[in-house]
Each structure stands twice: as structure tokens, then as C-alpha cells.
Amino acid sequence: MSTKKMPPFLLDEKKWSAPYFLAPVAGYSDVAFRAICAEMGAALCYTEMVSAEALVRNHAKTKELLARDSAETHYAIQLFGANPATLAKAAEIVSAFQPAVIDLNCGCPVPKIIKAGAGSALLKTPERIGEIVRAMRNATSVPISVKIRTGWDEKSINYLETAGMAIEAGACAITLHGRTRAQGYSGKADWDAIKALAAQTSVPIFGSGDVFSADDAIAMQEYTGCDGVMIARGAIGHPFIFQELCQRAAGQRIDEALSPKVVAQTALHHLELAVKYLGEQTACVEFRKHFCAYTKGFVGGAALRAQAVRCSTFAEFQRLLELFAESAA
């Protein structure tokens, strides 16, 4: 385990005893899902990545991504972009939302993001990452962190250099996803890279990649010595991962597998929050993918998922979740 003394941003001691975070997952990490994960014990939840350019232009839809639920005592905002001045202005704007930390995305492998010179494209120019972090640090008192990958491809593994540039410029923490941009989300995450970075840096390092269960999260922390674990796909449909991690950190024994009834209750609460923030029509369309994730692996789930893709009202989803809960009997 890592023994770094100074936390990169202010969280209470209880949260740092179980340093497991919800990653900024595009299309999933909206305010409703973040609230669910926060209630389950996630130490910190990150927004979906937010366009710095759109923020500076006062794009209304973009600002909606910054909505925050009362369950989020602390939350983090992730920005993406390529221009230091624009990102500095965006950091100044989001500071008003009082995030615990502002994160710079240098890892997104999506082509349209890369074409704009943002996300993983920045891995090609570590010095530009330093320029951006420095500009953001000068624009706000909120701590700045950076999320990176191991490199652009296997021939350009440069995470040590990239992290070094960011830290020198004032980054308070680095999250390393153990894959190259070329890998996307395929192949196996390189936990050895996370281990190497954690051993060589002066700031906290958070690991990301191939964490699909509480066992995975604990194994990553123990193997790499990282200071925290960023959980992405492993939390989708299973926010209970944070609850289990908190219980295990407290020395509590986990005896029973989750029942359909418990999952259905959580999913319904999730939908209620989504309706609150998005309106019923949009919330129900967006919830279809969450419903599929919540019911994955359960007996009878496939038949319910076939119906879910046609649900368009809260009442329809509520009835479907009741059927799912009854499958526990």
C-alpha cells in the first residue's frame, strides 16, 4: 500500500480510508448516477467530461453536466480541451460550483475528441499538458489533477514523462489508466505501469483499468501501491461495489449476494433521481442502458431487458422493476 501523507484535496478521513472513486464515464456519470454512487459510499464522483470550449461559450446543455445532488458532499469536475487559455477560463468558471478538484482529461481515445487536439492527443505533447495545468492552476485555487494513459501507442509509452510535466506544473494528483490510446478499452490494463508511477512520484497516484469488482479494486491497490482506485465500467449497473468496498475497509463481513429486490429498489431510486434532473421523457430513454446493466447476470433478466428498450414512462419502468424484484421469490 502507498504511504503518501498529504491528500491531494480535502475529503474527510472516513472517505480516505476507502479511497475508491467513480470515474468520469461519458454517457453514464450524470448527476443521478453519481448521487447513487455517493450514497453507496464512493469517496468522490467525477462528472462526465465537460468541454472547456463549450463552457466558455456559455453553452446551456454543457452547464447541465455540472448539476450536483445533495448526496454529493464532495464532487469532482473533469474538463477537456487543448487550449491553455480556454481551459484556464473554464477552470475559473467551474470553480463557482465548489468542486473538490478539477481534473484535466488527457486520456479519452474517442476520435472526435482527438481531432480537436484534446484527450489522448495531448499525450503526444507532454509539454502542452504542463502549459495547460499551469494555466489552470493560475486561474483557480481549486486543486488540479490530471488523468492520463500510458502513451499514444506501444511505441510511445511516455506516462512517466507526461506525469512529470503535469506534476512540475502543479498537478495535485495523477490518475493513470493502464492502457495506451491505441488500445482503447481492449486488451489488458498494465498495472505494472501504475505501480512504477506510484513508486516514482511525489503526489498521490490513482489507478484505473480492469476494475470490475471489489476484489479487483483491492488487488490493484495492493499490487500497485496506488493511493486510490478509479472505477468506471465496474460501477455501471453495480454501484454496490462502493458499498462493499467501504464495508470491507471497515472490516465488515459480506455474507449475502445482492438480491433482485435490493437491486430493483436501487434502480428505481436511480430512475427517480434521473426524472428529477432530466424530466421523465429524457430520463426514461437514458435509463434503458442502466436497466440493462442492473439486470445483467440475473435469471430472467434477458426477457426484462427486451421489454426495457420499449419503456418510455416512469410507470412502465416501475412495473418492470417490480417484476424483476418478484423474481427473488
Residues marked active site are found at 108
**Chain length of the chain:** 329
How far apart, in whole angstroms, are the C-alpha atoms of residue 275 and residue 266? 14
Q: Which residues contact 216 (CB under 8 A, 6 or more apart)?
A: 210, 234
How far apart, in whole angstroms, are the C-alpha atoms of residue 146 and residue 123? 12
Q: Is the dihedral of CA 249, 265, 282, 311 positive or negative?
A: positive
Segments of the chain assigned E as strands? 20-22, 44-45, 50-51, 76-80, 101-106, 144-149, 173-177, 205-208, 228-231
**Helix, strand, coil percentages, rounded to 5, for the chain:** 50, 10, 40
Residues paired with residue 231 on neighbouring β-strands, in sequence order: 22
